[in-house]
Chains A and B, each alone.
Chain A
């Protein structure tokens, strides 16, 4: 514990502002533009997660910050220094790779001390720091082992140790947990969160796993085709998604969407016609919604407790599959109104095939306009 505080104190001493600014950053590979124009601010000491489906350019952004990939146009600043033409080694970034990228011919000690050797630190200081970091990450007993003698989780911890031993201004994580099994992933996720809380180093973390993003991030940046769809706190992303893409991408099971056929606003109330059903929302909308979305956990089968509860008719509904998650179960149902997912009430019998109704609280309804942007 003492060692730990020692390390943290030193980290504190050395810490300099390291906010990252990306201004109009563009990246093309030949004729293919991966990132059209990206503006992003990552505040000092924050944990920012870049989240998106594969091929959305999230790793490319990370690699551009690291300097492993050149910027086609625009500007990257770390701590107000333009780093476009600064070599990777001089940017003050350390990176944890998905493949761990441990040096297979070096022991854990050799891996940890490598960046310090390259920085030509005195031998005694290198030894001190290796001891500290190994203690911090519980690697002390493994120092003389080779990477091939370590488990996946241990390897990833060594990779983290090698990244933090230099006391970098910025820590970059490139899908660091993707190669691990679920149990380890959960444990290391907690460890990363814990480490981040102690080190307070600016961190950028790339993942396609939304659970990782939601649990780790101060700010989640949702990307699609090299563009930012939304950047915000995990809670906001979940409950106030900026558009249909984010609403559909975040959350499992996926959000239910319904087409709005007609919308009428009258006296602070809005009446929506959906699949022949009328839903009354007690708010006035600026624009007419084209679609509404409701998360499955707020949806239940039946018309609801009272007549004020909105519900949608489902014609020719059929329960396709029931997914039991232990604490709760979801039903996946097909109908003429489309596929819907709902929370199965405890002890409920599987519904009969035929016409059904899906009800949900009015305040859980999200309205999107014709362009897919959130209205209310």
Chain B
């Protein structure tokens, strides 16, 4: 009874009250705030911070599948710098991002503009726009893989129907780049479309009317009013899509699986794919894989840094900002 008594929640509450009682209002609110944050911070600590620091630790180790990791200093990083596969993967990653990010921005902008209009079947249209976001990515990637299949794919069938030669889509660098970029654009435009659409709703109709009276046609209104006032949303879309694409894995992995020896993995290796290949397909490369993942972190930070710098010049934040 005594033990239960000590643990009783009312007792705990009294303790909490005592802690609170002697504080100022601001202090009490701060304590309450941190208490509310605790579950989230706890999750973050276990699943993110621990993972991150373990990864950093691992990157200085020679860690195979079995046995304890051995400290090897900067060996993994030295290997990384001289590994041509790393630079090839980085090149592929940047190439995919350079095509897919503008692609996503243009497609989602177009769709967001279309969504401004009322027309027959607009709800069907909206459903189609949001479909890729609710479908299983792997399923969509497989559909694309079949569509672009060299012998039986519908794309090559269409090309042949209009008199062209079939293309070996997954057998060339250009082919893989095309299919991967299309897939990334298709898989990622839904949420940006919604964000840009919402951003457009925030622009006061008065501004469009003023611009109309000032002699601006639809195109001029789009470029002089919509685009600059949408820049905060656009920037958000660009930076999230860029980071997403730099971490690209599922598309290339499903499209060009590591066991398929008929096509070259070199066309499909992104930094994450190569990291996965080194760490989980081949044996004994866990420490080296950790170093690759930190290299990717560096790349993401550099790209984000460049984008953030551009933001200062190009983005206009709200009327009272």
Contact = CB atoms under 8 A, between A and B. Distances in A.
Partners in one complex: yes
Interface string A134-168: 00000000000001100000000000001000100
B225 A103 contact: yes
A88 interface: yes
A242 interface: no
A88 B216 CA distance: 10
B214 A105 contact: no
25 contacts: A66-B213, A67-B213, A88-B209, A88-B212, A89-B213, A89-B215, A89-B217, A94-B213, A94-B214, A95-B210, A97-B209, A97-B210, A101-B204, A101-B206, A103-B207, A103-B224, A103-B225, A104-B318, A104-B319, A105-B229, A105-B231, A118-B214, A118-B216, A118-B220, A148-B319
Nearest to B321: A148
A105 B319 CA distance: 8
Contacts of B319: 104, 147-148
Nearest to A103: B207
Given A66-B213, A101-B206, A148-B321, 15 more contacts: A88-B209, A88-B212, A89-B212, A89-B213, A94-B213, A95-B210, A104-B229, A104-B318, A105-B228, A114-B211, A115-B215, A118-B220, A119-B215, A148-B320, A162-B210
Interface in B290-314: none
B207 A101 contact: yes
Contacts of B216: 89, 114, 118
B316 A88 contact: no
B321 A114 contact: no
A270 interface: no
A95 B211 CA distance: 10
Contacts of B204: 99, 101
Contacts of B217: 89
Contacts of B213: 66-68, 88-89, 93-95
Most chain-A CB neighbours within 10 Å: which of B214, B228, B231? Answer: B214
B321 A115 contact: no
Contacts of A104: 229, 316, 318-319
A53 B228 CA distance: 37
Given A97-B206, A101-B206, A101-B207, A114 B214 contact: yes
A66 B214 CA distance: 11
A95 to B, nearest CB: 5
A348 B314 CA distance: 68
A114 B319 CA distance: 18
Interface of B: 204, 206-207, 209-217, 220, 224-225, 228-229, 231, 316, 318-321
Nearest to A159: B210
Interface residues of A, number: 22
B224 A114 contact: yes
Contacts of A166: 214-215
A97 to B, nearest CB: 5
A95 B215 CA distance: 12
Given A101-B204, A114-B224, A68 B229 contact: no
Interface of A: 66-68, 88-89, 93-95, 97, 99, 101, 103-105, 114-115, 118-119, 147-148, 162, 166
Tell me which of A66, A104, A148, A166 has the highest count of chain B C-beta atoms within 10 A of its own C-beta.
A104
Contacts of A162: 210, 214
A118 B210 CA distance: 12
A147 B211 CA distance: 16
A89 B214 contact: yes
A364 B217 CA distance: 56
A115 B214 contact: yes
A93 B213 CA distance: 7
B290 to A, nearest CB: 45
A162 B320 CA distance: 21
Q: Which 7 A-B pairs have the closest CB atoms?
A: A118-B215, A115-B214, A105-B316, A101-B206, A101-B210, A89-B215, A104-B319
A101 B203 CA distance: 11
A266 B13 CA distance: 94
A324 B209 CA distance: 43
Contacts of A89: 212-217
A118 B214 CA distance: 7
A64 to B, nearest CB: 13
A147 B213 CA distance: 19
A148 B316 CA distance: 12
A174 to B, nearest CB: 9
Contact of B212 (A68, A99, A105, A148): A68
Contacts of A148: 319-321
Contacts of A97: 206, 209-210
A114 B204 CA distance: 17
A119 B211 CA distance: 12
B137 to A, nearest CB: 37
A93 B212 CA distance: 11
Contacts of A101: 204, 206-207, 209-210
Pick the most buried of A66, A89, A103, A105: most chain B CB atoms within 10 A of its CB. A105
B206 A99 contact: yes
A212 B224 CA distance: 34
Nearest to A100: B206
Contacts of B229: 104-105
A99 B212 CA distance: 16
Interface centre among B206, B216, B229, B316 (most CB of A within 10 A): B206
A366 B62 CA distance: 104
A87 to B, nearest CB: 8
Contacts of B320: 148
A192 B77 CA distance: 72
Contacts of A105: 228-229, 231, 316
Nearest to B228: A105
Contacts of B316: 104-105
B317 to A, nearest CB: 9
Nearest to B315: A105
A114 B214 CA distance: 7
B51 to A, nearest CB: 42
A105 B224 CA distance: 9
A118 B219 CA distance: 11
Contacts of A93: 213
Contacts of A103: 207, 210-211, 224-225
A89 B212 CA distance: 6
B221 to A, nearest CB: 10
